[in-house]
Amino acid sequence: MSPRIGVFGGTFDPIHHAHLRMARAFAAELQLDEVRLIPAGQPYHRDRGPHASPAQRLDMVRLAIAGDAALSADAREVRRDRPAYTVDTLRELRAELGDKAELWFLIGGDSLAALDRWKDWRELFPLANLAVAMRPGFDPAALPPVIRQEWQARQVSDFSNRTASGTIRPLALPPFDLSATALRARLAADEAVDGLIAPAVLAYIRQHGLYR
């Protein structure tokens, strides 16, 4: 059987339990063999750079997922010496995994609405399927016309026709009820973050004096 691989990219500055809940629900919902968490090295879409270095954010991802066989850390964007574009990452993964692998890329509904502003966005579909994490109130009718057209043509709601790439599947994943911004504020104020972040990640943050 061809592998079913999920891709979950993000700044992960720092990675926290809401990220991990989403990654695990992503794997369960789509019956994936593995979810690769890919920290962005140089996020091109942010006004300012991450607070922790790319290497530190990769270290924290590895600490957070240690012992979870369904999750892995992928360092390719951290090692890249240029801004990280999703299409380049998916091209690399497709070349490594082969044409028959079932590749899924997880995005949020807000990202879907801005998809036509991504680099070479139409080329994403020959490379992977898109899994869209749905938030309450998401309205496909409010999508830009060019994205709405793709949504209508490519959306699937079951597993009756699994393909290597090209479909869009809405997913009802757990609410992303914790932001890295709020977590950094709590860390800066030396407030308790029990239950929000892996103990090994918290120890790393304190060891390296991050987010003060």
Q: Is residue 201 part of a domain?
A: no
- Whether residue 62 lies inside any domain: the answer is yes
- For range 26-36, the mean pLDDT: 96
Inside any domain, residue 18 = yes
Q: What is the residue-averaged pLDDT of the chain?
A: 91
Q: What tokens were used for 13?
A: 């500055």
Token code pair at residue 144? 């830009």
User: Across residues 141-158, what is the average pLDDT?
Assistant: 92
Q: What are residue 179's phi and psi, to 5 degrees?
A: -105, 150
Residue listed under structure tokens 């496909």: 140
- Asked if residue 91 is part of any domain, the answer here is yes
DSSP one-letter string for 159-212: STT--SS--EEEE-PPP----HHHHHHHHHTT---TTTS-HHHHHHHHHHTTT-
Residue at 143 is within a domain: yes
Q: What is the pLDDT of residue 50?
A: 63
What letter represents residue 117's amino acid? R
Please report the beta strands in the chain, taking only residues with DSSP state E, as ranges in sequence order.
Answer: 4-10, 34-39, 71-73, 102-108, 129-133, 168-171
Closest CA to 148 of 164, 178, 168: 168
Distance between CA 11 and CA 61 in Å, rounded? Answer: 10
Determine what percent of the chain is predicted with pLDDT higher than 90: 78
* Mean pLDDT calculated for residue range 24-44: 90
Tokens 């890329």: give the residue. 105
**What is the CATH number for 163?**
3.40.50.620
Distances (CA, A) of 50 to 20, 92, 155: 19, 24, 33
> pLDDT confidence of 48, banded at 50, 70, 90?
low
**Domain extent at residue 93:** 4-176
What's the rounded mean pLDDT across residues 37-44?
81
* 66-120 pLDDT per residue, tens: 999 999 999 999 998 888 899 999 999 999 999 999 999 999 888 999 999 999 9
Q: For the chain, state the CA radius of gyration.
A: 17
* 175's tokens: 């609410």
State the total domains in the chain. 1
